[in-house]
Chain A
Amino acid sequence: MKFVHDVKADFTADIVYMMCPMHLLKLDEMIKELEIGQVLEILTDYDGALEDIPAWCEKTGNEFIGIDETEDYYKFYILKVKN
């Protein structure tokens, strides 16, 4: 897993306390709002996202920048590469 710090995001989706599959639905929904080259930040405490979000990026051809960990939740960063 790639850990990052101080990544600047263009959009944030806060889904802390929401369970599976909200992280994937939110990704699908939010990525449509972004321009190519913009960064999406997803805040979640759902552990399954550690596997699912990088896999989603690989499947959809977007770039998984990495995660930043706080005490209570993860911050995932995704770069929109293609429409």
Chain B
Amino acid sequence: MRKCYFDHVATNPLLPEVFDAMVPYFKEEFGNPLSVYELGVKAREAIENARQSVASLINAKPSTIVFTSSGAEANNFALKGIALAKQNEGKHLIVSRVEHHSVLNTARSLEKMGFIVTWLPVDKYGLVDPDAVRKAIVKETILISITHASSEIGTLEPIQEIAKIAKEKKVLLHSDGVATTGNIPVDVKELGVDLYSMAAHQFYGPKGAGALYIREGIRIVPLIYGGIQESGRRAGTENVPAIVGMGKAAEISAKEMDKRFNHCKVLRDKIIEGVSSIENVYLTGHPDNRLPHHASFVVEYIEGEAMLLMLAMKGIYAASGSACSSKALKSSPVLLSMGIPSALAQGSVVFSVGIDNSEEDVTYFLNEFPQVVKKLRDMSPFAKGWKTNIESDKCYTGGQ
């Protein structure tokens, strides 16, 4: 049976070149980067080379990159580190409702610590309105956190515009770039962000390596105290193989950005065109301004998990909402925030393609998916009489 991995927003396969670059640091080059002898020096040099590659990928200076264990840690570090560093200036944060749980839950934990959070709504495409950001800023605002793109809906947020407002109002801007880094060109200077989170496994690097870009001159309270690693900003003996892998993956991403972008976009467009032709299936997120490898939908009258299981039986691997929402069988807060009703949000399905996918994969998928939808609808008690119940203008998303 054909295997089609269409879940690249969950994680990417590791590139063989990346694996090869990592192997020596599991074996003979096992030194602690703080050690003064040759083994340590080599490990330290490997980390600094990786830092250079990650910095280049987002047009930043190497000294502005702090390695973390994941994108989630980078998001936690950004929000908590800035909130604690700037709490004497104010205790107000602005966070959008389409953030990843690592931003949402960190902001919620800050609320419990006495910070005040304004939760910004989004429109039907999942877009944050820059004017709403401007209106939400008060004298006590110290940080704005808006994702560059949500991995659930793929919509690219107007970060540049929001950054201009943040700069004008002298408020720091953090953006979660986990879904974007390595998949679209990112230039932190052009974007105007002050902090930017990344995760290696989203651009064909290993799990266990992430990074936070912190613009020069920004003070931040560490999340993890201990030694002098990462210039005292993130303690703990470094995960050298994973960091080396992140560096290699960043280097390859920079070189292959256009090729990767175009390859994925062609496949994604075919998926959007094919899936949208099925009755009562709606595209979620923005129809054009979205991640090049991302196609997300809600399918009426059936449940996302059931689709995933049936697709998996056909060798097609996809996602339904975020991994955590999916496990908890909860309606995605991201989809609900876009005005999609809870029942419809249960039918969420996300297909995210990568460089390892081919046109044949998409053709196979487009042949199988309508049959899966039909089979599940035939079994669904909600689907009975659906054709007569649907109003013609019932359009929840931008894709219709």
Binding site for B on A (CB under 8 A): 14-19, 21-22, 25, 71-72
Q: Nearest residue in A to B84 (C-beta to C-beta)?
A: A17
Specify which chain B residues have a CB less than 8 angstroms from the CB of A18 in the assembled complex.
222, 231-233
Q: Nearest residue in B to A23 (C-beta to C-beta)?
A: B232
Assess whether A17 is in contact with B228, with CB atoms less than 8 Å apart.
no
Assess whether A19 is in contact with B225, with CB atoms less than 8 Å apart.
yes
Q: How would residues 174 to 191 of chain B score, 1 for a CB under 8 Å from any chain A CB and 0 otherwise?
A: 000000000000000000
Interface residues of B in 212-261 (CB under 8 A from A): 217, 219-222, 225, 228, 231-233
Count of chain B residues with a beta carbon within 8 Å of a chain A beta carbon = 12
Specify which chain A residues have a CB less than 8 angstroms from the CB of B85 in the assembled complex.
16-17
Q: Nearest residue in A to B217 (C-beta to C-beta)?
A: A14
A31–B220 Cα distance when bound, in Å, is 24
Assess whether A17 is in contact with B88, with CB atoms less than 8 Å apart.
no
Specify which chain A residues have a CB less than 8 angstroms from the CB of B217 in the assembled complex.
14
A15–B230 Cα distance when bound, in Å, is 13
Binding site for A on B (CB under 8 A): 85, 88, 217, 219-222, 225, 228, 231-233
Q: Given A15-B232, A21-B228, list of 11 further CB < 8 A pairs? A: A14-B217, A14-B219, A16-B85, A17-B219, A17-B221, A18-B222, A18-B233, A19-B225, A19-B232, A25-B232, A72-B88
Assess whether A17 is in contact with B231, with CB atoms less than 8 Å apart.
no
Specify which chain A residues have a CB less than 8 angstroms from the CB of B228 in the assembled complex.
21-22, 25
Q: Per a CB cutoff under 8 Å, which of A16, A19, A21 touches B219?
A: A16
A18–B219 Cα distance when bound, in Å, is 9
A18–B233 Cα distance when bound, in Å, is 7
A18–B85 Cα distance when bound, in Å, is 11
A14–B221 Cα distance when bound, in Å, is 13
Specify which chain B residues have a CB less than 8 angstroms from the CB of A22 in the assembled complex.
228, 231-232
- Distance (whole angstroms) from the CB of A75 to the closest CB of chain B: 14
Specify which chain B residues have a CB less than 8 angstroms from the CB of A19 in the assembled complex.
222, 225, 232
Q: A22-B231, A22-B232, A72-B88 are in contact. Are A17 and B220 (CB under 8 A)?
A: yes
Identify which of A15, A16, A19, A72 gathers the most chain B CB atoms within 10 Å of its CB: A19
A21–B232 Cα distance when bound, in Å, is 8
Q: Nearest residue in A to B235 (C-beta to C-beta)?
A: A19
A17–B221 Cα distance when bound, in Å, is 5
Q: Nearest residue in A to B226 (C-beta to C-beta)?
A: A19
Specify which chain A residues have a CB less than 8 angstroms from the CB of B219 in the assembled complex.
14, 16-17
- Distance (whole angstroms) from the CB of B158 to the closest CB of chain A: 31
Q: Nearest residue in A to B88 (C-beta to C-beta)?
A: A72
- Distance (whole angstroms) from the CB of B183 to the closest CB of chain A: 33
Specify which chain A residues have a CB less than 8 angstroms from the CB of B222 in the assembled complex.
17-19
A13–B290 Cα distance when bound, in Å, is 41
A43–B231 Cα distance when bound, in Å, is 15
A17–B223 Cα distance when bound, in Å, is 11
- Distance (whole angstroms) from the CB of B62 to the closest CB of chain A: 15
Specify which chain B residues have a CB less than 8 angstroms from the CB of A14 in the assembled complex.
217, 219
Q: Offer 16 A-B interface pairs, CB within 8 angstroms, sorted by A.
A: A15-B232, A17-B85, A17-B222, A18-B222, A18-B231, A18-B232, A18-B233, A19-B222, A19-B225, A19-B232, A21-B228, A22-B228, A22-B231, A25-B228, A25-B232, A71-B88
- Distance (whole angstroms) from the CB of B343 to the closest CB of chain A: 47
Specify which chain B residues have a CB less than 8 angstroms from the CB of A25 in the assembled complex.
228, 232
Specify which chain A residues have a CB less than 8 angstroms from the CB of B233 in the assembled complex.
18
Q: Nearest residue in A to B219 (C-beta to C-beta)?
A: A16
A72–B222 Cα distance when bound, in Å, is 16
- Lowest 4 CB-CB distances: which A-B pairs, in order? A18-B232, A22-B232, A17-B221, A16-B219
Q: Nearest residue in B to A24 (C-beta to C-beta)?
A: B228
A61–B217 Cα distance when bound, in Å, is 30
- Distance (whole angstroms) from the CB of B22 to the closest CB of chain A: 28
- Distance (whole angstroms) from the CB of A49 to the closest CB of chain B: 13
Q: Nearest residue in B to A43 (C-beta to C-beta)?
A: B219
